[in-house]
Structure 1
Amino acid sequence: MKFIHAADLHLDSPFLGLTNLPNAVLTTVRQATFTAATKVFDRAIAEHVDFVLLAGDLFDRAEQSVAAQAYLFQQFDRLDQAEIPVVISFGNHDFATDQHQTVAYPNNVTTLGAEVTTKKLTLKSGETVAISGFSYPERWVKRDLAAAFPIRSQVDWQIGMLHGAVATGGDDHYAPFKVSELLTKGYDYWALGHIHHRQLLNDQPPILYSGNTQGRSVNETGAKGAYLVTSQNGNLVPSFFPTSAVLWEKATVSLDKVTDLKSLGLALTTWIETHAAAKLTLTALTVTLSQALDATELTQIVSGDWLALYLRTQQRHLLAANRLLIRLQVQQAPVKLSAPQIDQQYWQQAQAEVFEPANERETFGRLLQDPSLADWFSHPGTDYELRQQAEQALTKLMGEEDNHAT
């Protein structure tokens, strides 16, 4: 058996705030969710899969554009001609889609309802598959619907589809569940959606977030895609394949010889040319300088005016390197706190106690159910970023206290 598990296509994502990009690049970015989704359907046809599972948030919002609806119908029709069934659930972004859908999907498409239901398939191989899941009837589903999933039935393979988040014990909004509860169902695979960072919550049986197929902001960095799942020795084994048309990246570079905006531009161009990307990469760049810029020049960076000028004048170099800057932040070299302002030893001790994963996760709480925030939180550079910002804020605070004292 072979199938594809994808989720969070987010067709029609607006990609706001990218006004400084060249028009051709803007067009590519705004079509990126469609380009990525097409790679999913192309792969399904090329692999002759038995079926496709789409676990929620096919659209970015409940009010879908005509273009997005027509696109999805056409892709489903392609799969219908290839005799590939599709099972879809709708999530918190495209909830109650049946109220807005004006065109009936092809006969190969099964849309799961507001309550947990099961779709049974008999494959060409003769194997039987039961697929259980539901769609969001409204933006928030606070109930734990895991209990409504049936215990494994007498089939060769049983799969659960669940667009939701692991329960935090608080006021959860997105179909909260516990991994332990899913395991009691005896399923062979759980196709999860909602969190945009792919995560394996359990190895066998796989309980797996496929992530979104296309990153939509700089908080959704790294390769995005879907999973081709195959049966091997009685288990279902997922294999990731990338689909992103555009990548997002956060990067930090230290520049020692920059003294003004002219030398900053030259240094940035050199860095970009030596860090060319394989595909279009939108980069939020933080530059650490060893010397302070003039206040007037720093204002031009903070306002975004200098970056807009840089993007226009260096467009040829940027496009050749497949790397465009969407944000530029300049920081002076980190200032080490010293007595009598604050004892460095106590600061380091406080860092170790405060910036501990359990403390950070408790502080953010249910905010981590938001896919973008969950991706940002799990990014390897986030902990460093939080520490740096805290140290800079503390430095500023101590400076203000000294000023008040004088």
Structure 2
Amino acid sequence: MKFIHAADLHLDSPFLGLTGLPTQLAAQVRQSTFAAATKIFDRALAEHVDFVLLAGDLFDRAEQSVAAQAYLFDQFRRLAAAQIPVVISFGNHDYATDQHQLVAYPANVTVFGPDVTTTTLTLKSGETVAISGFSYPQRWVSDDVVAAYPPHAATDWHLGMLHGAVATGGTNDHYAPFTLDDLRQKHYDYWALGHIHHHRLLAENPPIVYAGNPQGRAINETGAKGAYLVTSQGHELVPEFFETAVLAWDTATLTTAATTLVALGQELTDWLTAHPASLPTLTALTITTTRSLAAEEQARLAEWPALFQRTQRTALRAANRYFVRLTVVPPTATLTAPELDQSYWEQGAAQVFTPANVQSVFGKLAQEPSLAAWLDQVTPRDLQQAASRRLNQRVRGENPDVS
């Protein structure tokens, strides 16, 4: 048996907040979720897989665009021509609405409804595969849905599809919370998970796997992106990750002693030469200066990043990079503080500025599209640096900035 497990395609993502990109790159960014998804369907055809599992958030929002719906229909029709079934569960972004009824997918496509159900496939080899799952009926599903999944069926294989998150026991368990023990107790042969945008093997026996998203969409979605090709080896299913992204995101830092913008620009050009990327890479770079710029240089600092981008296009193209954020951090005044206080600050910062805490603090606000788009662009490290700057400003008696 051989199948593909993918999730979180987020077709037609708006990529809010990206302005000033070169025209060709901007077009590539807008089409990137489609291009990455196409690699999944191409791989399915090339490998002659038995079926494809898509574990939620195929679309970026419940109101899917015509382009996204038409694209998926065409891809499913390609798979239908090769007699490859597709099984879909919708997630928290594309939760089931009346709009899902506007498109009649080809007969090879099975879409789970709001209740946990099981569909059974008989493969060309004669093997039987039971697949259990459900689609979100609304944006949040806080109930224990795993309890509704049936035990292993009387089939050769039984797979579970779940778009959800590991339970934290807190009030923000809004995405079909589960525990690994809950999943193991079903005795399935494979759990195809969606929702988390980083591919991750949570357990090996049986494989409990987040496919991640095929294409990163924001600066906090760095790292390899793709899907899994899963093959049977004896009585086990073995997942193999393959990459699909057509562009990447990256965060980086540069420390410099430059005191002029010309010297700073040269160091940045040298950094680009030393850090070429294999894919077009949208990069957020923080430049920390150890020496203060001259007063006249500081007056031009606000316009310098845009000027560098426009005048150094050749170096940027050669490095396959474009800066979506270029931040110059001036040297901070050394504050007299006990060593123990600094140690407590560092320990506290490591515990406070985490993705889980950010999600907890923002809570329901993160469900608002405009705020969610902003939050996608902000990392816990960004928040930590902002907090540090404000504390320093208050200690020095300055009015904290609001940037």
Is 2:201 aligned against 1:206? no
**1:23-62 CA distance string (max 9 Å, x none):** 0000001100000000000111111111100000000011
Q: In the alignment, is the contact (CA less than 8 A) between 2:92 and 2:136 conserved in 1?
A: yes
Range 326-335 or range 76-85, more displaced: 326-335
Separation in 2, partners of 1:361, 1:224: 19
How far off its partner does 1:314 sit? Answer: 1.4
1:28 matched to which residue of 2? 28
1:282 matched to which residue of 2? 282
2:217 matched to which residue of 1? 216
Given the superposition, is the C-alpha separation of residues 105 and 300 from structure 1 closer, same or farther in structure 2, using an over 3 Å criterion? farther
Q: In the alignment, is the contact (CA less than 8 A) between 1:226 and 1:240 conserved in 2?
A: yes
Given the superposition, is the C-alpha separation of residues 260 and 358 from structure 1 closer, same or farther in structure 2, using an over 3 Å criterion? closer
TM-score scaled to structure 1, two decimals?
Answer: 0.89
Is 2:339 aligned against 1:344? yes
Q: In the alignment, is the contact (CA less than 8 A) between 2:55 and 2:194 conserved in 1?
A: yes
2:327 equivalent among 323, 326, 329: 329
* Matching residue's letter, 2:215: Q
Q: In the alignment, is the contact (CA less than 8 A) between 1:199 and 1:209 conserved in 2?
A: yes
* Matching residue's letter, 1:270: D
Separation in 1, partners of 2:345, 2:27: 47
1:185 matched to which residue of 2? 186
Separation in 2, partners of 1:327, 1:167: 34
How far off its partner does 1:367 sit? Answer: 6.0
2:306 equivalent among 292, 308, 313: 308
How far off its partner does 1:351 sit? Answer: 2.6
Cα-Cα RMSD: 2.8
Separation in 2, partners of 1:232, 1:330: 52
**1:272-318 CA distance string (max 9 Å, x none):** 1221111100000000112112456446545xx33222222211221
* Matching residue's letter, 2:327: Q
1:396 matched to which residue of 2? 393
Matches within 5 A, 1:38-57: 38-57=38-57
1:318 matched to which residue of 2? 316
What is the SS of the residue equivalent to 1:182? helix
Range 291-300 or range 319-328, more displaced: 291-300
Is there any run of 5+ residues in structure 2 with no aligned partner, and where?
Answer: 399-403
1:229 matched to which residue of 2? 230
Given the superposition, is the C-alpha separation of residues 217 and 183 from structure 1 closer, same or farther in structure 2, using an over 3 Å criterion? same
Given the superposition, is the C-alpha separation of residues 334 and 387 from structure 1 closer, same or farther in structure 2, using an over 3 Å criterion? farther
Given the superposition, is the C-alpha separation of residues 183 and 358 from structure 1 closer, same or farther in structure 2, using an over 3 Å criterion? farther
Percentage of pairs with the same residue = 59
Given the superposition, is the C-alpha separation of residues 80 and 298 from structure 1 closer, same or farther in structure 2, using an over 3 Å criterion? farther
Q: In the alignment, is the contact (CA less than 8 A) between 1:301 and 1:328 conserved in 2?
A: no
* Matching residue's letter, 1:99: Q
How far off its partner does 1:128 sit? Answer: 0.7
Q: How many equivalent pairs are there?
A: 391
Given the superposition, is the C-alpha separation of residues 104 and 58 from structure 1 closer, same or farther in structure 2, using an over 3 Å criterion? same
Matches within 5 A, 1:2-401: 2-171=2-171, 172-256=173-257, 258-294=258-294, 297-298=297-298, 300-302=300-302, 305-333=303-331, 336-338=334-336, 342-352=337-347, 354-355=348-349, 357=351, 360=354, 363-364=357-358, 366=360, 390-400=387-397
Q: In the alignment, is the contact (CA less than 8 A) between 1:168 and 1:366 conserved in 2?
A: no
TM-score scaled to structure 2, two decimals?
Answer: 0.89
Separation in 2, partners of 1:344, 1:392: 19
1:404 matched to which residue of 2? none
Given the superposition, is the C-alpha separation of residues 387 and 100 from structure 1 closer, same or farther in structure 2, using an over 3 Å criterion? closer
* Matching residue's letter, 2:31: Q
Is there any run of 5+ residues in structure 1 with no aligned partner, and where?
Answer: 402-406
Range 110-119 or range 231-240, more displaced: 231-240
